């Protein structure tokens, strides 16, 4: 973040193949050709079949085995002893030992969930629900081969991701990950560490997560994650959080902390409340947990998602730890000169986006605007010395790249000029999300050349220290 950079937001599932195969390596090559030095993705975690949301994962630490390339999927069913050379087996054993603090719980949870017909752990018999060692062993012993397959596929995922990251490093491309602040109730994390969450004696949440009414939802959003027991986490110096951020740094060069404001205060919604309107703010651990996170992650590697209802206290917390915030251009046009998303309020310590995975595509957004708001956009473009009549989405892409923000990230859908039908996610809805996939050969030489032209003129090619923009 000390250099001016340009990046693209594209989840792995949105590649033409939807996995970590050749398309992922070709996309890195596209970024390098386009002068971009950052690839931002969504969480790489195993999702639930009900919604496939990477923000509702079965584990905050594991890799999603569905991302393993088609060419390597056949390996997942092989017994480790029969499929690995001596050197590979040594590397495999060492990796499993290093990851044991989360891997063992994930394997138990996943194998048990399969054994009981994929029911959430709250519906398991008490011995399994409460992780009684004797009962867990009784159920898992007959499926020991399946446990070993699950372990092996995690290593296959890790190896394929390592190869991709090495390829990206060789092309000068940083990988930018995403860490949801909360974890799913039906997850290995909560099942194995119930003492770290605010749960009753049977594992049910006392209150659940969400946010009050905002730009996205008039009734607020009810996310239904359990809240952390911050006192319990503080007792061991936030060891769980240290492990979690260290795991992310194994995978990524940069990490975005989703819903950063939850560290300052989180919205608690009663279990029986029909909407998130009926919640209240509860203070979080603030500096204590941020000190642990920054220490474990290393300086200059974290970005704060500071969207929504951001108070001066939240902003001060972010600034105390030197975390860049986010600026969304689609939010800039409410007519207020004090709007923090206007380019003149960005500053170098920020990451600017046309929109994120939670926004409509820029073309879809533009088509939804009334003519008065469109005139605001055109006036701003003219004020910034840009062509007010340049077609969307390229006008907003150019505006983002011209920002003073150190990093400018453009969703792939905007580079491809796609409309609302290609939106990735609509917050507060349960269907139709996370399914968009880029067409084959979408990221071609012509597009790379067009992007590179913009990246060069805004001094963002592969990371430079030049300053330009508003």
Catalytic, out of 153, 189, 253, 358: 358
The pTM score is 0.96
| pLDDT interval class at 309 (50, 70, 90) | confident
- Six token digits for residue 361: 């595509």
- Say whether pLDDT at 192 is over 90: yes
- Six token digits for residue 79: 């017994």
Q: Phi first, then psi: what are they for 104, rounded to 5°?
A: -60, -45
- The conformation of residue 435, written as its DSSP 8-state character, comes to -
Catalytic, out of 258, 264, 306, 360: 258
pLDDT given for residue 100 in this prediction = 97
- Say whether pLDDT at 195 is over 80: yes
Smallest CA-to-CA distance from 317 within 253, 262, 367, 250 is with 262
Smallest CA-to-CA distance from 92 within 44, 158, 145 is with 158
How far apart, in whole angstroms, are the C-alpha atoms of residue 60 and residue 52? 14
Write the DSSP string, 336-380: -TT-TTSGGG--SSEEEES--TTSPPHHHHHHHS-HHHHHHHHHH
- 51 given a catalytic annotation: no
Catalytic, out of 305, 306, 360, 414: 305
pLDDT given for residue 246 in this prediction = 97
How far apart, in whole angstroms, are the C-alpha atoms of residue 379 and residue 387? 10
What mean pLDDT, rounded, does the chain reach? Answer: 94
Write the DSSP string, 28-71: HHHHHHTT--EEE----SPBPTTT--TTSBS-SSS--GGGS-HH
- Say whether pLDDT at 217 is over 50: yes
User: Kindly report the CA angle at 206 between 202 and 207, in degrees rounded to 5?
Assistant: 145
Beta strands in 57-202 (DSSP E): 174-180
CA distances from 374 to 43, 80, 377, 394, 397 (A): 34, 59, 5, 14, 15
| pLDDT interval class at 464 (50, 70, 90) | very low
| Mean pLDDT value across residues 208-229 | 90
Lowest mean pLDDT among 213-222, 356-365, 447-456: 213-222
How far apart, in whole angstroms, are the C-alpha atoms of residue 283 and residue 323? 20
3-state secondary structure of 73: helix
- 466 given a catalytic annotation: no
Note whether 212 and 267 are within 8 A (CB).
Answer: yes
How far apart, in whole angstroms, are the C-alpha atoms of residue 214 and residue 223? 14
pLDDT given for residue 78 in this prediction = 52
How far apart, in whole angstroms, are the C-alpha atoms of residue 456 and residue 458? 5
- 189 given a catalytic annotation: no
């Amino acid at each position: 973040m000390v250099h001016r950079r340009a990046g693209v937001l594209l989840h792995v599932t949105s590649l033409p193949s939807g996995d970590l195969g050749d398309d992922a390596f070709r996309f890195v090559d596209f970024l390098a050709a386009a002068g971009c030095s950052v690839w931002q993705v969504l969480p790489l975690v195993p999702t639930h079949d009900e919604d496939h949301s990477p923000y509702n994962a079965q584990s905050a630490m594991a890799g999603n085995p569905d991302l393993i390339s088609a060419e390597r999927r056949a390996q997942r069913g092989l017994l480790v002893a029969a499929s690995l050379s001596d050197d590979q087996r040594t590397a495999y054993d060492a990796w499993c030992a290093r990851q044991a603090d989360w891997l063992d719980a994930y394997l138990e949870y996943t194998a048990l969930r399969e054994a009981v017909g994929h029911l959430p752990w709250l519906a398991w018999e008490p011995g399994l629900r409460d992780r009684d060692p004797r009962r867990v062993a009784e159920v898992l012993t007959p499926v020991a081969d399946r446990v070993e397959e699950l372990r092996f596929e995690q290593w296959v995922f890790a190896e394929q991701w390592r190869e991709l990251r090495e390829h990206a490093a060789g092309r000068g491309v940083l990988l930018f990950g995403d860490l949801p602040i909360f974890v799913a109730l039906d997850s290995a994390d909560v099942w194995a560490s119930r003492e770290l969450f605010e749960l009753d004696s049977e594992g049910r949440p006392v209150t659940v997560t969400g946010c009050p009414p905002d730009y996205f939802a008039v009734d607020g959003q009810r996310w239904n994650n359990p809240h952390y027991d911050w006192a319990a986490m503080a007792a061991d110096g936030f060891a769980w959080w240290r492990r979690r951020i260290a795991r992310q740094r194994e995978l990524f060069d940069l990490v975005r902390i989703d819903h950063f404001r939850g560290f300052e205060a989180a919205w608690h919604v009663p279990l029986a409340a029909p909407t998130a309107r009926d919640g209240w703010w509860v203070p979080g651990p603030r500096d204590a947990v941020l000190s642990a996170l920054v220490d474990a992650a290393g300086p200059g590697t974290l970005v704060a998602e500071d969207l929504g209802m951001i108070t001066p206290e939240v902003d001060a917390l972010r600034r105390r730890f030197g975390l860049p915030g986010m600026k969304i251009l689609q939010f800039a046009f409410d007519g207020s000169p004090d709007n923090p998303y206007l380019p003149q309020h960005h500053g170098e310590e920020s990451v600017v986006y046309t929109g994120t995975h939670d926004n409509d595509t820029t073309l879809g957004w533009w088509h939804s605007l009334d003519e008065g708001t469109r005139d605001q956009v055109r006036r701003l473009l003219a004020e910034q010395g840009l062509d007010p009549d340049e077609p969307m989405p390229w006008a907003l892409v150019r505006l983002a790249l011209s920002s003073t923000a150190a990093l400018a990230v453009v969703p792939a859908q905007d580079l491809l000029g796609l409309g609302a039908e290609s939106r990735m996610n609509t917050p507060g809805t349960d269907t139709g999300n996370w399914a968009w996939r880029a067409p084959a050969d979408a990221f071609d030489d012509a597009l790379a050349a067009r992007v590179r032209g913009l990246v060069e003129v805004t001094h963002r090619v592969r990371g430079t220290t030049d300053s330009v923009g508003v």
